[in-house]
């Protein structure tokens, strides 16, 4: 009963509700502005339906045969002699034809379909070469040189990238990299989903969690009724009810924002043929040219659910951090400022560590760095965070630490002079 009354304070807060609506609207705007067009996604899905997702020798041969027959037929119907579909879309060919109206909408649609097939074939051919040349150890050395890492820290980076080699060989052996996906160099959907949307949702929920947890925990102190409320043993135990209410609100807010954001995104972008394709597919490579190498053989849907689970875990952690700070500081505004400072320190401290010390790597095992690295959770993610169990260790250690800190703080709160 008491936790429900405490939860009601959060639900009835106009600031929390207003921010929730504002954040949801902002996320929908991001999706509207950045999501690939449904017709482009439909063409990729049509190719997968017709030829399968794997562009190995069999799948690639079938698609290439269809493409060549289609292009020859299209040229014959329209009196053209294009050697490739992409040649039609060169400015000197495309605009004169479109201005003259000599190509019907139906024929234009067919050449667009052929161009999609051609793009897939060329991408698959390029991936075979790229993955044969890509060397995890050379990538490690490039990272080491880029960030000026030296000594023991550099040795640790090389060791972690060396442990990535068996997984990289498995990807090539399983041909995970040859599965068709929305082209990363065109749509950048991986960055959109796991960096932009995941990152925005993480910060939005974190802000809400800190606000309502600090507000709820310090409600009596802010209202000046703490001397009455906490004058008894049961009164002091009210903090446990507040924590339960804050955790419940955290779960509801997290679920709501995730459902509103990604429910809308996946309604707008048809992933029905893509759910079970490998997250390590080379088709997802973005303009920076770096492949996505997951530590495990994960499909897109499994990778997405793991990321969603980690978001819930992180928000519970932020609730616990805010709760512990509130028990000691007794002022909502001070708690919010201190939390922001601690979050910032989590980003600044690793950069201030000596580059020849492993501390420059191990200090990245903090919630702030974990939040900012959402684009490459569970995969190769650069010199400082390419550890197989980086996410599990970071979330697990900090969670255990603040569960203990919360318990000790509550014991102290029961006996402290207010």
The per-residue DSSP string of 120-137 comes to: HHHHHHHHHHHHHH--HH
Q: Which of 108, 146, 113 is nearest to 42 (CA)?
A: 113
- 204 strand-pairing partners: none
- Phi/psi for 46 (5° steps) reads -65, -40
Give the pLDDT of residue 416.
62
Distance of CA 149 to the CA centre of its chain: 27
Q: Which two tokens stand for residue 336?
A: 């919010």
Please check whether residue 262 is in contact with residue 197, taking contact to mean a CB–CB distance below 8 angstroms: yes
Could you read off the pLDDT of 180-235 as tens digits, one per residue? 999 999 999 999 999 999 999 999 999 999 999 998 888 666 555 444 455 555 55
Q: What letter does residue 221 receive in the DSSP assignment?
A: H
DSSP of 4-59:
HHHHHHHHT-HHHHHHHHHHHHHHHHHHHHHSPPHHHHHHHHHHHHHH-SB-SHHH
Q: Which of 345, 313, 325, 314 is nearest to 214 (CA)?
A: 325
Q: Compute the half-sphere exposure of residue 241: CA atoms within 13 Å on the CB side of its CA.
A: 15
206-222 burial, b at 16+ Cβ within 10 Å, e below that, comes to: bbbbbbbbbbbbbbbbe
Q: Which two tokens stand for residue 49?
A: 């339906």
Please check whether residue 391 is in contact with residue 370, taking contact to mean a CB–CB distance below 8 angstroms: yes
- Phi/psi for 90 (5° steps) reads -70, 145
CA 375/CA 368 separation, integer angstroms? 14
- Contacts (Cβ under 8 Å, ≥6 apart) of 318: 206, 209, 210, 213, 250, 339, 367
Q: Is 268 helix (H, G, I), strand (E, B) or coil?
A: helix
Q: Is the dihedral of CA 217, 221, 226, 229 positive or negative?
A: negative
CA 6/CA 55 separation, integer angstroms? 56
Give the pLDDT of residue 19.
94
Give the pLDDT of residue 12.
79
Q: Which of 265, 267, 246 is nearest to 257 (CA)?
A: 265
Helices 198-217 & 238-268, crossing angle to 10 degrees?
160
Q: Which two tokens stand for residue 381?
A: 């993610």
Using alpha carbons, list the distances in angstroms from residue 123 to 79, 116, 117, 129, 231.
28, 11, 10, 10, 70
Q: What residue ranges of the chain have pLDDT lower than 50?
A: 225-228
CA 392/CA 396 separation, integer angstroms? 6
Give the pLDDT of residue 227.
44
Could you read off the pLDDT of 227-259 as tens digits, one per residue? 445 555 555 567 787 889 899 999 999 999 999
CA 413/CA 418 separation, integer angstroms? 9
CA 30/CA 27 separation, integer angstroms? 5
Q: What letter does residue 278 receive in the DSSP assignment?
A: B
Instruction: Name residue, tokens 């997984």.
Output: 167
Q: For residue 353, how many other CB atoms are within 10 A of its CB?
A: 16
CA 40/CA 102 separation, integer angstroms? 24
């Amino acid at each position: 009963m008491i936790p429900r009354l405490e939860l009601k304070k959060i639900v009835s807060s106009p600031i929390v509700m207003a921010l929730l609506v504002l954040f949801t609207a902002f996320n929908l705007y991001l999706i509207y502005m950045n999501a690939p067009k449904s017709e482009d996604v439909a063409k990729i899905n049509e190719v997968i339906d017709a030829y399968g997702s794997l562009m190995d020798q069999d799948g690639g041969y079938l698609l290439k045969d269809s493409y060549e027959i289609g292009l020859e037929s299209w040229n014959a119907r329209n009196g053209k002699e294009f050697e490739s579909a992409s040649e039609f879309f060169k400015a000197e060919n495309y605009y004169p034809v479109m201005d003259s109206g000599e190509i019907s909408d139906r024929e234009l649609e067919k050449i667009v379909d052929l161009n999609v097939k051609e793009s897939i074939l060329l991408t698959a051919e390029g991936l075979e070469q790229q993955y044969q040349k890509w060397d995890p150890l050379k990538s490690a050395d490039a990272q080491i040189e880029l960030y000026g890492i030296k000594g023991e820290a550099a040795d640790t980076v090389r060791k972690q990238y060396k442990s990535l080699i068996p997984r990289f060989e498995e990807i090539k052996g399983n041909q995970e990299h040859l599965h068709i996906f929305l082209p990363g160099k065109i749509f950048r959907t991986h960055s959109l989903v796991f960096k932009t949307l995941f990152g925005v949702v993480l910060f939005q929920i974190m802000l809400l969690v800190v606000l309502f947890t600090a507000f709820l925990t310090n409600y009596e102190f802010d209202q000046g009724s703490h001397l009455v409320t906490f004058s008894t043993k049961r009164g002091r135990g009210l903090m446990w009810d507040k924590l339960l209410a804050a955790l419940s609100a955290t779960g509801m807010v997290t679920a709501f924002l995730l459902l509103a954001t990604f429910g809308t995104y996946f309604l707008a972008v048809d992933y029905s043929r893509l759910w079970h394709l490998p997250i390590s597919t080379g088709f997802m490579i973005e303009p920076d040219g770096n492949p996505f190498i997951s530590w495990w053989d994960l499909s897109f849907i499994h990778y997405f659910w793991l990321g969603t689970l980690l978001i819930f875990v992180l928000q519970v952690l932020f609730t616990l951090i805010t709760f512990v700070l509130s028990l000691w500081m007794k002022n909502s505004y001070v708690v919010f400022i201190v939390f922001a400072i601690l979050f910032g320190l989590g980003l600044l401290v690793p950069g201030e560590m000596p580059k020849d010390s492993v501390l420059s790597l191990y200090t990245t095992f903090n919630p702030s760095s974990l939040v900012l690295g959402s684009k490459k959770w569970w995969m190769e993610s650069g010199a400082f965070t390419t550890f197989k169990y980086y996410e599990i260790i970071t979330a697990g250690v900090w969670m255990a630490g603040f569960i203990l800190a919360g318990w000790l703080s509550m014991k102290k709160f029961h006996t402290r002079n207010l």
